[in-house]
Amino acid sequence: MNGFEMTTDVTNIPISGSQKAAILFTELGSKVGSQIIEFLSDAELKRLRKAVGNLGSYSPRKPNFFKVQQREIRVMEEACKFGVKNRFLPAEVLERKDYGFLKSGSAYNKQNTIIKELVDNPDTITNVLRTWLGED
Count CA within 13 A, CB hemisphere, residue 77.
14
* pTM of the predicted model over 0.95: no
pLDDT score, position 41: 93
Low-confidence ranges of the chain (pLDDT < 50): 1, 104-105, 107-112
The pLDDT value recorded for residue 48 is 95
Give the side-chain half-sphere CA count within 13 A for 34: 3
Whole-number pLDDT of residue 116: 64
pLDDT of residue 8: 52
Rounded CA gap, 119 and 33, in Å?
A: 9
